[in-house]
Structure 1
Amino acid sequence: MEYALKCYLCIVVIVQLPLINRSATLKNLINEATDGEGDDEDGRKQCTIQMDDIPGGPEAFELAARFCYDVQLELTAANVVPLRCAAEHLGMTGAVDQTESFLSEALRNWNDAVRALHACDAALPLAEDLLVVQRCVDALASKACADPTLFGWPMLHYYTAARKSLHETVVWNGIATPGKPRSPGADWWYKEASSFRLPVYSRLIVAMKSRGMGPASIAGSLAHYARLHISGLLGRRHGGGKSRAAALSDGDQRAVLEEVVALLPDEAGAAATRFLLGLLRTATVLHASAACRDALERRVGRQMEDAALEDLLIPNVGYAAETLYDVDCVHRMLDQFVMESTASPEIITADEDAAASAELRPVTTVAKLVDGYLAEVGTDPNLKLSKFHAIAALVPDYARALDDALYRAIDIYLKAHPWLTDSEREQLCRLINCQKLSLEACTHAAQNERLPLRVVVQVLFFEQLRLRTTVAGWFYVADNVDRGSSSSDNCVIPRRQSSSDRLRAAASLVGGRRGG
């Protein structure tokens, strides 16, 4: 009797005795199909079986058939998984045992485990049911978490092949000697891990987390994966991933971004602030979920002292956008930073100057960052006073040693918004501590017609106090020096004359502004 097996409508195999005897599934199908079958024209029985559900497709069935006919078959990490699943599906116990043994051996090697995990895609969902996918993930996770210098396996392809410079020979006195191999860095596994599909990569990262992989390494791999699959994150140094990112739709890139954000370690500083802000900018463009954007804003707020001004300039997207930049997003991140910041003047004691200075450093850094940001966004005529004021007011007064940068930002805003009323100008200028303006800033403010008159008077008043303090200091020094010394007299007289001239000039300036 002849049996014809059609697999995926593209392969027709004449099934003979060896294949039937070694496959319990085929044997059962043939028995069911031959019940009640008649003879053909030549008096021979003929049976046709259709099988379109073999894991791994026709290639896997061909491997299984070769195994049944004892044809020499070379098992590799790339074909062992499809053959293992096809053997399970066809009920070939002998092939199951042999492929299991080979797979267990292959998973001891990093490169073979990578190939085996890639091969699982063609054998789903049976590869998942047989726990082959999980075994591959566990094998890769355990190797990535281990110290690569303690094992003898070939760790990864680009370490042994692409990084040939690490093993280049050294010529000494005309004799070539092998160079000293360098240890792989913490990122040696990033490239292979980023080649997997998002669900598989996500499982791999979760497995590495459970095995104690450091948060910096996890965040580094996530950054590598995101830059490879999200076009908005590609920089000049990551041009190699453009084709892969371009092949993904906006929906797929959004899914990658949201999954990467969900997998980020909780530790502050694990991921670079610039990378987080890049994710936030791209999340806005791709219309990621509100939960994803909120998570990114909280993470940036916890380490905002490491942000750069250019990264905070997040464009507003959408037709309803009023301002050029998303100032509301920056306001929320700054609010998060202020809430989590523990530095305050009350906790600083005389015995803890060094510790207090280190604790205040992030706050002072963010204060400079905010002043620079306000100067950039202040030129936008659509930026409302309430939003500008809210961001500037979030920075505590003790965070600024000088208010010159804040004064400059406010002056830029006033210049771009000449329609503000006097009360609105005064409300904005109350943010400036006139006692913390430098001499140059005071000189500019005294002649600044955009400032309210009350602010100018206040600036001149504190400048007068500063001059009086300076003059009093000189008098104190002069009283403690020998009065008969001519040098002391010459030292005091010019200062008194200079301060008097300064006060008269300030008074005349105020009088001139009032008259105007």
Structure 2
Amino acid sequence: MGVCCDLEVDVNGEATFLVDKRIILSFSGRLRKLIRTTTDVSRGLKIVLHGFPGGPEGFEQIARFCYNGGRVEITPSNIILLHYAARFLELECPTDSAETHLIAETKKLLQGLNFWSWPELLLALKQYQICASIRKDSSLVKKLLDSLISRLGFTSYESTCSSFSTSTSFRYSYDTRSHDSSSKFTRTTWWFQDLVFLNIDLIHKLIKMMVSHNFDHKIISKFLFFYRKSRPCHSEPAQQRRITQGVINLLCLLDHQNSFSCDGLFDIYQVGLSLKISRKSKHKLEVLMGSQLDQVTVSHLLIPAPRGKDYVYDVNLVLRLLKFFQIESKLFLFQLCNFGKVTKLIDSYLMEVAPDSHLKASKFSALAMAMSHSRESHDKLYQAIDLYFQVHVELCEDEKIRICSALNYSKLSNETLKHLAQNPKFPCRRAIKSRISKQDSPIDLFCHTMISKVLRETPFGCTSNGNAGKRRDESHESKSHIIREKSKCVF
């Protein structure tokens, strides 16, 4: 071809093609419009195409179509790309050509996508993803995802036979990936691995459509956890952060009741901290974690304190989770047994954080008070407070009294009451009696009576300066009296 017929085309700044101007312009209405005012044909022209669907690969497919006289083999691996590239270039067939218009042909074949096989749908979605400039065209992707979702309730095996025409103009072949690799998945999760290639934008569309189709929320959450873990680890931190935040937003669309894996939520939280996810995403995730607090173990809560903090574990996080759990409980009317699980969890957590010499009394007190009214027994709470006092010998009386206010003495066993009366680390007898005497409820009055008896009848009480007095044996009569008095109380 002569130089005068050459046309230089820059596609998205990624690649440059030198094409025959007469051939390309005979098909592309858009390119004809761009150079319509050009009269100088003695030198080559250059056109820059921004946002070309499929980039250089898409333009190369169209160039082959044009050079081949308007003929191309359309397959699931190129139908989406050909369709949008043809629309972008306003592709037409020359008047002397008998070939079918490419746009009309691809459009006709796309109308039958409900009859495509599972692998064909995946190939089409991969092509859709690389067409970065057609994100606003939601009708086609909706049809693709609708067809995809309709297959998810069926068997994991899809026929490798193509649903496309076997004619010379529309043949199809593809790499029949073995399904043996998905044998580790269950009947309801066989598709997880197949959809990992989708970007977070398509995943967002997919999950919203699943929710609208009343898809099982447990299965959706499992897929989201799997998807986040399966994305390439070598991705840029910004991309990983975007994926993680996108997954968090999608999890928030699901039912908070028994839809999530605690391990999955806390795993995302740890990853999110390292990726420095936004404060908004972190808050959303903590709300989800708090809603599942009755399902977690104490090991889940042992998250290291933020960098730069002296205390060992992130107590502030646990306090926030408790707040969110209580809010969720009011909204969804959780059963009382859930509160029982959470109080046992917090008691165990208190035992873990009590030895931390850097944990402030105000934080420990807030933890102790958080679920104090839901405890059936306060023995373990007393043990945690006792351990905290052993480590924090520098505490003043006011701080000790504030922490001890979480204790309900009527819910202490006889053995714990006797241990308390002889414990020199707890506030002095006068401070305890003064604190209790200011409370007005019947139970608190009972506590006042009980602790007064224990302190009066057990000479090993604390003195006003917190030092222990001399021990002397309790009489069998006073022990029996305490037990009788406690047994009379009805809660």
Structure-2 change in CA distance of 1:504 and 1:453 (3 Å): farther
**1:118 is the counterpart of 2:94:** no
Cross-structure match for 2:190 = 188
**1:288 is the counterpart of 2:277:** yes
* Alignment check: 8 A CA contact 2:294 2:341 kept: yes
* Alignment check: 8 A CA contact 2:182 2:193 kept: no
Residue 106 of structure 1 deviates from its aligned partner by 4.8
* Alignment check: 8 A CA contact 1:30 1:49 kept: no
Correspondent of 2:361 among 385, 388, 395:
385
Structure-2 change in CA distance of 1:248 and 1:502 (3 Å): farther
**1:214 is the counterpart of 2:216:** yes
Correspondent of 2:54 among 23, 35, 56:
56
Cross-structure match for 1:13 = 19
Local SS of the residue matching 1:78: coil
Cross-structure match for 1:42 = none
1:312-331 pair list within 5 angstroms: 312-319=301-308, 321-331=309-319
Task: Name the structure, 1 or 2, with higher relative contact order (CA <8 Å, separation 6+).
Answer: 2
Residue 119 of structure 1 deviates from its aligned partner by 1.6
1:166-205 pair list within 5 angstroms: 185-205=187-207
Correspondent of 1:100 among 107, 112, 127:
107
C-alpha offsets along residues 268-305 of structure 1, whole Å, 9 cap, x if unaligned? 22122332233334434433333222222322222311
Cross-structure match for 1:426 = 401
C-alpha offsets along residues 411-432 of structure 1, whole Å, 9 cap, x if unaligned? 1110110011234323323433
Structure-2 change in CA distance of 1:464 and 1:74 (3 Å): farther
Local SS of the residue matching 2:20: strand
CA distance in 2, matches of 1:342, 1:464: 42
C-alpha offsets along residues 313-368 of structure 1, whole Å, 9 cap, x if unaligned? 2222243x35322212211221332344469xxx9xxxxxxxxxx93211111111
Local SS of the residue matching 2:335: helix
Structure-2 change in CA distance of 1:225 and 1:159 (3 Å): farther
1:453-468 pair list within 5 angstroms: 453-454=428-429, 461=453
Q: One-letter code of the match for 1:338?
A: Q
Residue 442 of structure 1 deviates from its aligned partner by 4.6
Q: One-letter code of the match for 1:62?
A: E
Structure-2 change in CA distance of 1:6 and 1:325 (3 Å): same
Structure 1 residues without counterparts, runs of 5 or longer: 39-45, 167-181, 230-243, 348-357, 466-497, 508-516
* Alignment check: 8 A CA contact 1:159 1:188 kept: no
* Alignment check: 8 A CA contact 2:400 2:427 kept: yes
Residue 70 of structure 1 deviates from its aligned partner by 4.5
Cross-structure match for 2:29 = 24
Structure 2 residues without counterparts, runs of 5 or longer: 93-100, 162-173, 434-448, 458-472, 483-491
CA distance in 1, matches of 2:28, 2:390: 85
* Alignment check: 8 A CA contact 1:85 1:127 kept: no
* Alignment check: 8 A CA contact 2:217 2:255 kept: yes
Cross-structure match for 1:351 = none
CA distance in 2, matches of 1:30, 1:504: 105
> Which shows bigger deviation, 51-60 or 190-199?
51-60
Structure-2 change in CA distance of 1:442 and 1:162 (3 Å): farther
Q: One-letter code of the match for 2:20?
A: I
Structure-2 change in CA distance of 1:380 and 1:77 (3 Å): same
More helix by proportion, 1 or 2?
Answer: 1
C-alpha offsets along residues 194-244 of structure 1, whole Å, 9 cap, x if unaligned? 322222221222222222222222222221222234xxxxxxxxxxxxxx1
Q: One-letter code of the match for 1:64?
A: I
Structure-2 change in CA distance of 1:394 and 1:25 (3 Å): closer
Structure-2 change in CA distance of 1:317 and 1:123 (3 Å): same
Cross-structure match for 1:228 = 230
Cross-structure match for 1:417 = 392
CA distance in 2, matches of 1:122, 1:152: 25
How large is the Cα RMSD of the aligned pairs? Answer: 4.0
CA distance in 1, matches of 2:135, 2:421: 78
**1:256 is the counterpart of 2:256:** no
CA distance in 2, matches of 1:299, 1:11: 52
Cross-structure match for 2:164 = none
Cross-structure match for 1:492 = none
* Alignment check: 8 A CA contact 1:403 1:433 kept: yes
* Alignment check: 8 A CA contact 2:156 2:187 kept: no
% identity of equivalent residues: 27
* Alignment check: 8 A CA contact 1:302 1:340 kept: yes
CA distance in 1, matches of 2:288, 2:138: 39
Residue 125 of structure 1 deviates from its aligned partner by 0.9
Q: One-letter code of the match for 1:299?
A: L
Cross-structure match for 1:490 = none
1:321-400 pair list within 5 angstroms: 321-341=309-329, 359-397=335-373, 399-400=374-375
Q: One-letter code of the match for 2:107?
A: E
CA distance in 1, matches of 2:278, 2:32: 53
TM-score, reference length from structure 2: 0.72
CA distance in 2, matches of 1:504, 1:211: 66
Q: One-letter code of the match for 2:127?
A: A
> Which shows bigger deviation, 383-392 or 452-461?
452-461
Q: One-letter code of the match for 1:312?
A: L
**1:161 is the counterpart of 2:137:** no
Residue 379 of structure 1 deviates from its aligned partner by 1.5
Cross-structure match for 2:263 = 274
Residue 452 of structure 1 deviates from its aligned partner by 3.4
* Alignment check: 8 A CA contact 1:154 1:160 kept: no
Q: One-letter code of the match for 1:79?
A: N
* Alignment check: 8 A CA contact 1:24 1:90 kept: yes
Residue 393 of structure 1 deviates from its aligned partner by 1.2
Q: One-letter code of the match for 2:239?
A: D
CA distance in 2, matches of 1:22, 1:504: 103
